[in-house]
Amino acid sequence: MGLVQSVVVPKTFLVKVGFALWATLLMVVVGTLMVGHWYTLPKPDKGDAVLASALSELRGPEQATAWMGVHVLYTECRCSQRVFDHLFSSKRIDALSEKILLVGADASIESRAIRSGFDVTVLTPAQLREQFALQSAPLLLVVNPAGEIVYSGGYTTRKQGPDIRDIAIITSLMQDNAAQELPLYGCGTSAELQSMLDPLGIKY
Amino acid sequence: MRALLNYVLLPTEISDFERKYLARMNRVGLVFFFAHLPVFVAISYFNGMGAISALLLTCAVLAGPTFAYFTFKNPRSLSLVFGFTAMLMGGLLVHFGQGPVQIEMHFYFFALLAMLALYGNPMSVVVAAVTVAVHHLMLWLYLPESIFNYDAPVWVVAVHAAFVVVEAAASCFIARNFFDNVIGLEKIVQARTAALDGRNADMRLVLDNVDQGFLTIDREGTLSAEHSAIVEVWLGKLPTGAKFSEYLGETNAEQGIRFELGWDEVLEDIMPLELCLDQLPDSLDIGVQHFSLSYRPIMNGEELDKCLIVMSDVTAEIERQRSEQEQLETLRIFDRVLSDKVGFLEFFRESDSLVERVATMQAELAGESEPDFTQLKRVVHTLKGNSAIFGIQTIAEICHEMESKIIEENCLPDPSVLEALQQRWVRIGKNLQALLGERSSHTLEIEDAQFESILTSVLERRPHEEIAQSIADWKLEPTKQRLNRIAVQAQGIANRLNKGAIGVEIEDAELRTCPNRWSGFWSSFVHVVRNAVDHGLETEDQRADAGKSSTGTLALKTYLDSDDFIVEIIDDGRGVNWPAVAEKAKQMGLPAENPQDLTMALFSDGLSTAVDVSETSGRGVGMAAVRQACEELGGRVSIESQDGAGTTIRFRFPQSTMSPNAEERLRSYRS
């Protein structure tokens, strides 16, 4: 007869352990959910050569002397959705050439954007990263007639704020007034950024 | 720090009330959190965050409190889980509540922090606050920028945190106060009840160890539960919710009724309260024990709220007073015996016979369905009068009590009263025997003149028959002896009634009567004497107003008139108030047409012109008793009275009733 010892684990101990696991897991889950919302996304540097080059190519020669607004929007991002709705329902500036870099495929949005007079360029997150050196959305870029990026930032003064200020920002810039660059809240488009913001893969 | 911990950490003991309260609140809490599920799914769905992920995430959060609800034995532990759950739910809400109101979703945290106070457990709030803090700390460690988004300065973060800390502190304060004053109310009540019980026990200890019983009644006369233990020893078990009159009535029905009637007067609030309380029963006899009752009102403003009844065992005090009274009586008896031994012994013998008659009559009357108390009443009255005259007040008082019962309630006295009478009489007899020995009943005393007369007769060799007759006459009682004794008694009565000194004239005509045959009449005759002094003779002032001498006078006479033996009492007082007698007679339905009718009425049972009843007279019993005694000897009574000029009452007997003739008296001595 071998020395077989059975270890009796108290029920209360199991309960405590189970409960501690539940609490820890949920703390982490909820914490990570919050990260995606609270994290201030990285904005591109206005002097970034790759971006400048890509924007120049995007503008094209026929609009070389016009103000250009570029909306970097992500179909999987709720913040980008609200900017879409805003763009399609607001009165746009006549002298402004506006383009949408649509990350991800969404035919409905694309057709709505075209119908609203926007030039739409559909990209994958990887293409956005490679061609424009961008990895977050929604991002507003404003390029003056000289081809300089005069604005690179978010749309709202606070996170998911209802007051989308793109018109005001662009108008101010077009009047040679300075515009404060707003923080960028939204979603990561690059795999690296998404991995950092959502390590558990719940959101993305 | 210790004080803070003591404030935040509840005492380990959980009262039944708290357990029940938390069981209900935990159930409510679980339902509340489960109600989040459809709401979160809907919010998430409409925000484009996905219903499925919302369902899964919310269920994951709900798993914890559900698990705890069914496994945790300590209800307080569940409230800690709820504190943690609340913050997780807040996180999910912020996540699902995307859009312009996402910031506003943070109000959920503050709302829940406040709501957690309902559990009355500061630790529940602390757990929630710590959860939030740990959450932020974790994020800061992981991604510092995620905490201080939009590059908020540290002071902004501090303000943000301050609100949580302040609200958590306030919520802890509310929770603790809720616990102490609402959930813990049962404990507070228990503690105060225990303190009161302690004080009551102390008080009870005091109350239970004094010789007084205390109980209280409310306005309706209902007994309160609180009372001293001795009350139940004396009166029996205190019935719950009963009235004091009922409780008292179980022991003494008469006093119970008296209290009930008296208490009604108290509540009527017509007469002064103190006066009404004085009318309530102030004594109670239970067997051989005597109690006094006193009443102390407990007022609520101007209105009587309750009444404290203090019951005291005064048996020892009563016994002491009785003993003192008996000692005084014994001294008076000695004094009487020394001054008039024969007279006192006659009184004793006569009264002894009366006591025996009272006992016999009461026993006989007790068996009758419609008893006639007339004879008993007269005997008791005669005993009372004679006892009072001879200074035996205890017997007079007992007789008065018996008489009151017979006359006022038309029923037999309580057997215990008769027993008291007999016992007292036996003690008097024993005292007398101790003083006189055997001489008390078998001694014949003669005067010097009688001794010399009989000695002379012997020396002169007078016939034996003549000497024998003279010796037999010794047994006859000179009426002078009786009249002298009655005169002393009359003067004593006058003194007691503040009539001042009175003159008593005696004329006996050297007559003698058979003491045994006449003892009943002489015993009753005292009523006539007493009436003459009490109602006939005026006070000194009244006599002065009437132009009379200040000293009232009585004349007591015995004499022979033809073949009749006359006993007469004459006073020079105010005379009989014949109109009053006539009115009383009419009220009693007696004839009142002529002087003869009025004379008969005056000697009728129950007729008295006296306003007040006293131990001396006033009930109209004595005159009827003396008339009966007169008639038993074959005599008749007449009365002559003139308004303001005095009264003569004359008893006329056949001469033959004075004593048996000589031959008859000697017959029993012949061999």
Question: CB A37 to CB B49 under 8 A?
Answer: no
Q: Using a CB cutoff of 8 Å and minimum separation of 24, what contacts does A177-182 make? A: A179/A142, A179/A150, A179/A151, A181/A43, A181/A151, A181/A152, A181/A153, A181/A154, A182/A153, A182/A154, A182/A155, A182/A156, A182/A157
Contact B581, B602 (CB under 8 A): yes
Q: Which residues of chain A have a Cβ shorter than 8 Å from any chain B Cβ?
A: 15, 18-19, 22-23, 25-31, 33-35, 37-40, 78, 81-82, 158-162, 183, 185, 196, 202
Looking at the 3D structure of chain A, how many domains does it have? 1
Using a CB-CB cut-off of 8 Å, the residues of chain A touching B145 are 39-40
Tell whether A200 is covered by a domain.
no
**Considering only alpha carbons, which residue of chain A is nearest residue B91?**
A30
Is A188 a domain residue? Answer: yes
Residue B135: which of A27, A78, A196 has the nearest Cβ? Answer: A27
Give the C-alpha separation, B407 to B607, whole Å.
12
Range of the domain at A128: 49-195
Does ipTM top 0.90? no
Is CATH 3.30.565.10 what the domain over B476-657 is classified as, yes or no? Answer: yes
List of residues 6+ apart from B175 with CB closer than 8 A:
B116, B117, B118, B119, B120, B121, B122, B124, B125
Identify whether the C-beta of residue B93 lies closer than 8 Å to the C-beta of residue B110.
no
Examine the pLDDT at B294 and tell me if it is beyond 80.
Answer: yes
Q: What is the per-residue pLDDT across B526-545, written as a single tens digit (0 to 9) for each? A: 888 988 888 888 888 888 88
CB atoms within 10 A of CB A8: 6
Q: Which of A26, A28, A159 sits opposite B102 (nearest CB)?
A: A159
Distance from CA of B149 to the nearest CA of A (A): 6
B153 or A73: which leads in pLDDT: A73
Q: Does residue A44 fall inside a structural domain? A: no
Q: What's the pLDDT at B185?
A: 75
Closest CA to B623 of B391, B356, B388, B382: B382
The CA distance from B378 to B372, in Å, is: 12
| Contact assignment for A159 to B48 by CB distance below 8 Å | no
Q: Does residue A143 sit within a domain?
A: yes
Distances (CA, A) of B252 to A90, B86, B245, B255, B256: 104, 72, 10, 5, 6
Q: Is the pLDDT of residue B77 over 80?
A: yes
CATH classification number, B322-443, choose in 1.10.240.10, 1.20.120.160, 3.50.50.60, 3.40.50.10580: 1.20.120.160
Q: How far apart are CA B621 and CA A82, in angstroms?
A: 123
* A78 contacts in chain B (CB < 8 Å): 47-49, 98-99
Provide long-range contacts, Cβ within 8 A and 24+ apart, for B188-195: B190/B15
CB-CB neighbors (< 8 A) of A162 in chain B: 100
Q: Which tens digits make up the pLDDT trace of B461-518?
A: 998 888 888 888 888 888 988 898 889 888 888 888 877 889 999 999 888 888 888 8
Q: What is the CATH number of the domain that holds A71?
A: 3.40.30.10
What are the pLDDT tens digits along chain A (204 aa)?
444 455 565 677 888 888 889 999 998 888 888 877 778 888 888 888 899 889 988 888 777 788 999 999 999 888 898 899 999 999 999 888 999 999 998 899 999 989 888 999 999 999 999 999 999 999 999 999 988 899 999 998 877 778 899 999 999 999 988 888 898 888 999 988 888 888 888 777
- pLDDT tens, position by position, B188-246: 787 888 888 888 778 777 777 776 888 899 999 999 887 888 888 888 888 888 999 99
Mean of the pLDDT values across residues B289-315?
90
Kindly report the CATH number that applies to the domain delimited by B210-313: 3.30.450.20
- Enumerate residues 232 to 261 of chain B having a beta carbon within 8 A of any beta carbon in chain A: none
Mean pLDDT score, B570-599: 86
Instruction: Tell me the nearest-neighbour CA distance from B129 into chain A, angstroms.
Output: 13
Burial of B359 (0-12, 13-18, 19+ CB in 10 A): middle
Q: Kindly list the residues from chain B whose CB atom is less than 8 angstroms away from the CB atom of residue A28.
A: 138
Q: Where are the domains of chain B?
A: 2-188, 210-313, 322-443, 445-475, 476-657
Mean pLDDT rounded to a whole number for chain B: 86
- Pick B68's closest partner by Cβ from A19, A39, A160: A19
Closest CA to A139 of A176, A108, A182: A182
State the pLDDT confidence band at B625, using cuts at 50, 70 and 90.
confident
Instruction: Provide the H-helix boundaries in B540-652.
Output: 540-545, 578-587, 595-602, 622-632
Smallest Cα distance from A49 to chain B, Å: 26
**C-beta of residue B49 within 8 angstroms of C-beta of residue B38:** no
